[in-house]
Structure 1
């Protein structure tokens, strides 16, 4: 399908990969081509081209940037001492390769409008059906292990079946077991995938499934695959059948199997996402592909909280900075995480924890919510904050259309320096009209100095005091709150009394 030049310098692998990438661009092959255009990847794979390099190059060209700090802040993946993670919330896959595929999806959100919308359509499709794959973890693991065994002689052919039978008799019992068990496992899985394919054929399907169906049809129409589909319930094979199947699975039809298994695991992932998001009442974001950026969220909540309080927020291009205030434990950090999660999930092409989301497509998300000092390299908490702000500033210089979140900016220094530094950074951020910022702080006096800045809007979480106890409603409101509850909480915990009692 792609013209591959064989002469120098086109024969150079890097040049070859770049030519393929340019061909992808020229043909607008950007919309989930790791999933939708399996025919292209199948043709490339069967010809032995640099498929991994091509995939990597295409991904780099349409990546929504999220860094390690942001992944940690939003609890995307499990970490030591962390009970919950966003990945585990969606991970209901059975197979190990399905889990690896889901990890890869979570690690690579996209800024390509077509990828995002097509994934939305795919998940909606699986939500509307009762389709399942019926995969068995042990069979899948064994089939994957068997296919990775590279000891098959390339020079073999079906005309040498007798010779292969003799070689098989010389193999160890363990080698024979791996081959026979692997063959049985693959036949079982291929029959389940074929049944799934037949069910899907009867339905109105989205673009990605339709593209996969074309590739599956071509593969299942091969004489060899027609034959193995007839072995549906067969558990014992003759020596000749084993050698014939082993030759095809690990040599002549190996690439076809790789493509089918790749589709299988991707389907498993998106069925899992569809099931989880439906059970949690997540909603599908509506994307605006216009150049003017906006974000609207209604009924936003955090999925890790039982009976969460939902909130609404709206970003427009005229107000690109939100100044967020509120007392300790009023709900600021949870809101920031909820907002960040929704932006991140939307760019995975997944539903989000809200009743409604309308958003533009952005190029990246950078959060600073739980930054730590780094004593190993001699960084104090404040210096770690400064370096983080610098990192974000450099990203803003090189990229447009980012979403940036800072929770309690410059908390690691004295109040005067934190005031001056926060004010200067907020004013600087407000000039970056092509990106959106939410910045929380306890130094609410900064708001008075920002009154003349028309690009800044104000949100807060207010707290009531009843019988000397704080009462939180966790509802986001317009404006600035100047409530200070630190000493009240300290007194309620009777910490001073505890210290003084120890003096007796």
Structure 2
């Protein structure tokens, strides 16, 4: 998977909080990494969907899996970095004489056993390992086997009966020592952190009522999609028949937000996550590029218009090489004059028709394109966001409809703000 440009989705700033119910910094770090790396095949996507769906189905796990961050931090520190020399076997006399060391280990093991027992019980009681994909079953078993190797239920009982002493500490010292030396402890925390990241994602999916899309079909269809940051979103449907999709609508009608919502559905789908929609069918793409927020590239010295040209060229080159590309271009060629924008928009739309395995969204403010394209053999889908004029003011519905919009509200807004009168006033 090639990610050319997804910063306009604001993944870490806006999207991460939707899924972040992590309990420790390691799981959060993995969650951040997951959000920035789409999967490279349909099989991987379906595998992750199955993992998340299994966690969601075990609602008790989703709802009750919990602990305090300090419990994890203390356990991780002890198992990963407690001095190995302090875990060496010692005779009973040394154990009795070294009271401070004995009390330190007793406290460490008390925290460790209660923490491991809690996690082991939650996982054992709520997981059906066989429901996971085969490759992931082994990872879950690794987590459970590591937990069970400490016999937390057995030692928790000893602690409760005040029978946890010299023998118990020596037994656990040997386990901690061996697990760290052979790499089991590192592997355990890696697998546990990933699993907890999946639990966190599953909680987010349930909380926001997202749904899994079918990935890998040739059809592009979204039902009831929306942008999840909106407080009261209007949910729309789209069913694409052609590889080029043109979007028009008045200023402030919500074109950019709608394109972000579509881009987010595609991107989350390629992560194997559920999407903000009732349902969806999305082709698998090799490349995702989303160009929505207009800006100059100060680092490379490119103007906004030149930046558009470069990103469009990158998508065209990838599509021409046989890659299946998904791309969004919001207000394409807005950065140049109207005559140039019209001419190169026609050329671009006609030229993009040949990349049949790609899906390319273009929003435009050039109303004249409709007449030009109607006279050409172009088979592009056209959508617009509805807007009505009432009492000389625009009323936005944010509803997506098929067809074109030729509504222009710039002069109405100009008048509404009183600029006509202000500019007609004589100079003071």
Is 1:264–2:192 an aligned residue pair? yes
CA distance, structure 2, for counterparts of residue 241 and residue 141 of structure 1: 23
What residue in structure 2 maps to residue 382 of structure 1? Answer: 305
Per-residue CA distance 1:104-152 (angstroms, 9 max, x = gap): 2111121322222222222222222211322221111233344453864
Structure-2 change in CA distance of 1:333 and 1:205 (3 Å): same
Alpha-carbon contact 1:325-1:460 (below 8 Å) kept? yes
Structure-2 change in CA distance of 1:148 and 1:65 (3 Å): farther
Alpha-carbon contact 1:323-1:457 (below 8 Å) kept? yes
Is 1:362–2:285 an aligned residue pair? yes
**Which residue among 279, 298, 308 is the counterpart of 2:223?**
298
CA distance, structure 1, for counterparts of residue 267 and residue 382 of structure 2: 23
Question: TM-score scaled by structure 2?
Answer: 0.86
State the SS of the aligned residue for 2:210: coil
Is 1:187–2:122 an aligned residue pair? no
What residue in structure 1 maps to residue 209 of structure 2? Answer: 281
Alpha-carbon contact 1:183-1:246 (below 8 Å) kept? no
Alpha-carbon contact 2:80-2:186 (below 8 Å) kept? no
How far the C-alpha of 1:417 sits from its partner, in A, is: 1.6
Question: TM-score scaled by structure 1?
Answer: 0.74
CA distance, structure 2, for counterparts of residue 122 and residue 449 of structure 1: 49
Alpha-carbon contact 1:363-1:399 (below 8 Å) kept? no
Alpha-carbon contact 2:30-2:197 (below 8 Å) kept? yes
State the SS of the aligned residue for 1:77: helix
Alpha-carbon contact 2:227-2:233 (below 8 Å) kept? yes
Alpha-carbon contact 2:80-2:180 (below 8 Å) kept? no
Per-residue CA distance 1:25-69 (angstroms, 9 max, x = gap): xxxxxxxxxxxxxxxxxxxxxxxxxxxxxxxxxxxxxxx3324x3
**Which residue among 445, 462, 469 is the counterpart of 2:368?**
445
Is 1:95–2:24 an aligned residue pair? yes
State the SS of the aligned residue for 1:464: strand
What residue in structure 1 maps to residue 237 of structure 2? Answer: 312
CA distance, structure 2, for counterparts of residue 90 and residue 200 of structure 1: 21
Alpha-carbon contact 1:374-1:380 (below 8 Å) kept? yes
Alpha-carbon contact 2:247-2:364 (below 8 Å) kept? yes
Structure-2 change in CA distance of 1:414 and 1:114 (3 Å): same
Alpha-carbon contact 2:143-2:191 (below 8 Å) kept? no
Per-residue CA distance 1:427-461 (angstroms, 9 max, x = gap): 22221112110100101212332232333121111
What residue in structure 1 maps to residue 66 of structure 2? Answer: 134
What pairs up with 1:209-220 in 2 under 5 angstroms?
A: 210-216=137-143, 218-219=145-146
C-alpha root-mean-square deviation of aligned residues, in Å?
3.3
How far the C-alpha of 1:247 sits from its partner, in A, is: 5.6
CA distance, structure 1, for counterparts of residue 341 and residue 83 of structure 2: 64
Is 1:456–2:380 an aligned residue pair? yes
What pairs up with 1:74-93 in 2 under 5 angstroms?
A: 74-78=9-13, 85-93=14-22
Alpha-carbon contact 1:140-1:185 (below 8 Å) kept? no
Higher relative contact order (CA 8 A, sep 6+): 2
Structure-2 change in CA distance of 1:134 and 1:491 (3 Å): same
Alpha-carbon contact 2:320-2:355 (below 8 Å) kept? no
Alpha-carbon contact 2:315-2:325 (below 8 Å) kept? no
What residue in structure 2 maps to residue 57 of structure 1? Answer: none
What residue in structure 2 maps to residue 416 of structure 1? Answer: 339
